Amino acid sequence: MKMNVQFYETIARFYDAENADMTDDLGRVHHVEMIELVSEPELAADWQRWIAYRQKNTERFRRIDDQLLAEHLRIAEDWS
């Protein structure tokens, strides 16, 4: 899935919005809410910690993604 964050930031500024519905390259709609550093410093700090954690654990998250994909493919094959 690809989402262009810079595009979202541009759209958010244009519409003066703090949230938006975005459609990814597979046609799925995602509701996105912005975290404002000035007005929501605790949430912004939480987000920065999460980003740092995810970057430090790249391999772990790759394995989790692979496991989820395999599980969902098995489910889809069982349904077909």
pTM equals 0.54
pLDDT at 52 over 70: yes
Mean pLDDT (the chain, rounded): 81
Ranking 30-39, 41-50, 66-75 by mean pLDDT, the lowest is 30-39
pLDDT at 3: 47
Contacts of 62 (CB under 8 A, 6+ apart): none
Contact criterion met (CB below 8 Å) for 57 and 66 = no
